[in-house]
Structure formats: C-alpha cells, structure tokens
Chains A and B, each alone.
Chain A
C-alpha cells in the first residue's frame, strides 16, 4: 500500500517512512502539489516550530492541493504539528493561518509544568475510534511539544493531560490526527499507524 508522506523538510519524515515500511506499506515522499492533490492517503508529519510547517505549506504551494485532497475524501493523518496545522491559528505564530479545518486555536501548555512536554504519557478518556482500535488505556505514547489543541468535545477521540487537558487523538470523517509521535511510540504507536492504514 502506498502512502503519500508530505516531505516539506520536517525532521521526522524518515522515521515515519521507516515505521510505515515495518508495517509493509510504502511511503511516497513528495512535496509536489499535483501528487498531493491526487493522493488517497496522506500523512502530514511535523516536529519543531509551527511557522516552519505553515510557511513550508504556503511556500511550496501545498496548502490548496492538500485541502482539495481532504475535501475529496482522501484519508489524512496529521502527526504532532500535523495535528496543530488543522486548526485555524496557533499562539506559536499568531500572524499565520492554519488549515482551518477545525475550529479553535492551538495554544501553549501552562508554564507551571516543564516544557516541552517531552516523553511518554497515557491517553485520557479514549472513546471508541477507528484509530484507537486495540489500544489499551495503559499504553504509553511519545510526546515532544509545548503547544497543543484545546478540547472542544466533538472531534477528539482521546485527550492527554499535562498542565492542562489537550487533544491527543482526533478523528472526524476522513481526518485523523495525533499529537504524539506514533513512529516513535513502540508497539502501540505502530498499532495506531496500522489502524490508519486499515481504514485508508
């Protein structure tokens, strides 16, 4: 199975590619607008600064093809910044505009806790979801971020708490996203990717 991985220069693209390969899928790395517009399964990885991702999407002309593919029904998985990009804006770069597929704004986790939120944490209040099929509440996932999406009560499949509650997993029709790094989260992470490949 081929999965289109948006390769706009993010650090974790290779890890995502390797994780997909371990599951028997082939990652097709691309930053070509026409390939993205025509893709059926798209992963948007991302780690680092929100502005780097949004600027890359706009600078490389990928925003419209990506939105077109998603509205056509292509299965989409956002990872880390790839989740945050789905919202309208982020406090990390307030002058930029996100993909705006979900309402609300990404904001910084409270500085009462050490930031970044770095390491292994568990999911909270997981509801039934295709992405979380076979995942136990005891499973840990690897997080590395300081900004996060607020819970709105509709699209999220699971929350996580660190300083405050935030969206860890979301699922809405053909849009899936995780704040943690499934490609770095051992067996449970691989299970999440496998679930995405199954629904896709």
Chain B
C-alpha cells in the first residue's frame, strides 16, 4: 500500500478544441475536449490537464466554458492553465471547476504570483509548469510556449518556485516534446531530487517502457502525455497493467 504513480493525459486546446502539433507548430484538430475527457475518465486516467495554448484574452470566456464542461464529466482531479496572469484569472479557472491551476510564463515574470495563488488556494492547487531545454551542460527555462529562452536555470527555478509556494512541478522537456523518443529521465531525476513536492514528467512519451523509466530512474511522481492517448497509440489501462507487472504502484482497478 502506497501512493500510486499517476498517469495524466493532457489536452492542449485553442480554447474550444483539442489541438496538437510539435512545438506548437502545424497545429491540427485532435477532437472535442469533453469527449476526450469522458473517455480518459472511464479509461483510468488519474487526473487530467487542460491547457489553453493560445492563451489570448479573446478566447478566455471560451476556455472557461471548456473547463466547466470538462469538469462536469470528470470524477477525477482537473488541472487547467495557459494565460493565467493574476489572482483573478486563477479564481475564474477554479470557479469554472479546476482543482489546480498551472502557471508558467507569468510565474517567471512575476514570481510573487506563485505565493499569492498558494496563499489563496493552497499549495496543492498551484502547479508550476517548467519548460526546460538543454543548453550545454545545464537546462534553461523557456517561456511563451517554449518560444523564448530565459537565463533561469531549471533546477534553481523549480526549487525557488517551491519555496514561493508551488505544490507541484509540471516539468516538460522541450528537447523531447513531440519526439516520442522517451522522457528526459536525467532532467526529471535532477528536478525530482531537488524539490520537496511531486513532479509530473512530460514530453517524449510513446511506449510503456518510457513511463517505467521515468517512474524508476527519473523518480517522477506522475507522467503526462497527449497524442499517444488521443490517437489510441497507447491505452491507459494497458499501460497501467504493464507498470503494475513491472513493480510500479498504480491505481488499478480503476
């Protein structure tokens, strides 16, 4: 008996529809968020992440509606983010039905936002999303959907975010994202051992052994993927059965 490792499908949306593309390029429609959410809820997903990757002011009401409709179908936790720049933005997302908010660019630009959100909603509701890319011997944080590099070192930033009040780190490897060549186990292990909160690994998942690696060697607490689940390349249930047979604690039956 112990805490289960979580499998988390991610819905990247343009506000209303699920979209996909490598590094935000060549976006194409990948379905209705409510239909996908209902499917993942039934298939044994442990949590769901919904992101507004356009994150423009204009489609904010649409995104809030999407969160509300997705939350209505779920009996598992929901994290939502993209374009959250203030306490009021976060409150709207939570009111719409999200249990957690993920913040990324706005946290880098205004680190005090992390503490504000944490004091208001609790650390368990604040997920700091860190998009990291290798530059020589270190990983640097990228913002604006990965398009802009910062000088922040990923390990230092993750640690600082936790000190400021983040209750979880959603760590995306920019190098692996969209490549289906496996999670960046080295990066995940480095961040996981540097912080005292759970780490969700993201970017590069394709086959079940990728998840096994990131949970064991990478010391991830949860693993996130998108297209392999959307395209039915990998069923969540079969993945969990493989992990259990490999000695990883997962929530089964579910």
Residue B206 is within 8 A (CB to CB) of chain A in the complex: no
Is the beta-carbon distance between A119 and B196 smaller than 8 angstroms?
A: no
A134 close to B (CB within 8 Å) = no
Whether the pair B75, A120 counts as a contact (CB closer than 8 A) is no
The reply to whether A15 and B198 contact each other, CB–CB distance below 8 Å, is no
Which chain B residue lies CB-closest to A187? B75
B251 close to A (CB within 8 Å): yes
Q: Which residue of A lies closest to B101 (CB)?
A: A11
Does B95 interact with chain A (Cβ within 8 Å)? yes
Main secondary structure of the interface of B (DSSP, over half): loop
> B71, A190: Cβ atoms under 8 Å?
no
Known interface pairs A18-B72, A114-B197; A47-B251 also in contact (CB < 8 Å) = no
Expressed in whole angstroms, the Cα–Cα distance for A12 and B125 within the complex equals 11
How far, in angstroms, from A49 to B123 measured CA to CA in the complex?
A: 8
Are A115 and B197 interface neighbours, CB within 8 A?
yes
Interface string of B61-96 (1 = CB under 8 A from A): 000000000011001110000000000000000110
- Contacting residue for B4 out of A119, A185, A187, CB 8 A: A119
| Chain B residues whose C-beta falls within 8 Å of the C-beta of A47 in the assembled complex | 99, 121-122, 124-125
Query: Does B77 lie within 8 Å of A140, measured CB to CB?
Result: no
Mark each residue of chain B from 90 to 117: 1 if its CB lies under 8 Å from any CB of chain A, else 0. Answer: 0000110101000000000000000000
B254 at the binding interface (Cβ < 8 Å): yes
In the complex the two chains form, is A140's CB within 8 Å of B71's CB?
no
Query: Which listed residue, A117, A142, A190, touches B77 by the CB 8 Å rule?
Result: A142
- CB pair B123–A119 under 8 Å, yes or no, is no
Interface size bucket, A side?
35 or more
* Contact with A111, one of B5, B46, B125, B196 (Cβ below 8 angstroms): B196
Chain B residues whose CB sits within 8 angstroms of the CB of A118 once the complex forms = 124, 167-168, 197-198, 221
Q: Give A106 to B175 CA distance when docked, in angstroms.
A: 43
Given A19-B75, A119-B3, A190-B75, A140-B254 contact (CB < 8 Å): yes
Expressed in whole angstroms, the Cα–Cα distance for A138 and B123 within the complex equals 28
Indicate if B155 sits at the interface (CB-CB under 8 A).
Answer: no
Nearest residue (CB) in B for A138 is B253
Pairwise interchain contact B121-A48, C-beta atoms closer than 8 A: yes
Contacts of B39 in A (CB 8 A): none
- What's the Cα separation between A189 and B163 when bound, in Å? 32
Residue A63 CB within 8 A of the other chain: no
A184 to B76, CA, bound (A): 4
State which residues 41-68 of A face B: CB under 8 Å. 47-49, 52
A144/B94 in contact, CB under 8 A: no
Bound CA–CA A183/B222 (angstroms) = 21
A12, B196: Cβ atoms closer than 8 Å:
no
Complex-state Cα separation, A124 to B4, whole angstroms: 15
Tell me, yes or no, whether A121 is within 8 Å of chain B by CB. Answer: yes
Contacts of A184 in B (CB 8 A): 75-77, 99
Binding site for B on A (CB under 8 A): 11-12, 14-15, 18-19, 22, 47-49, 52, 111, 114-122, 124, 138, 140, 142, 144-146, 161-162, 181, 183-187, 189-190
19 of the cross-chain contacts (CB-CB < 8 Å) are A11-B121, A12-B99, A14-B97, A15-B97, A15-B99, A19-B75, A47-B121, A48-B122, A49-B122, A118-B124, A118-B167, A118-B168, A119-B4, A119-B5, A119-B198, A120-B4, A121-B3, A161-B2, A186-B254
17 further A-B contacts with Cβ under 8 Å, apart from A15-B71, A119-B47, A142-B76, are A11-B94, A11-B99, A14-B71, A14-B95, A47-B121, A48-B120, A115-B196, A116-B197, A118-B221, A119-B222, A142-B77, A146-B124, A181-B77, A185-B76, A186-B76, A186-B254, A190-B75
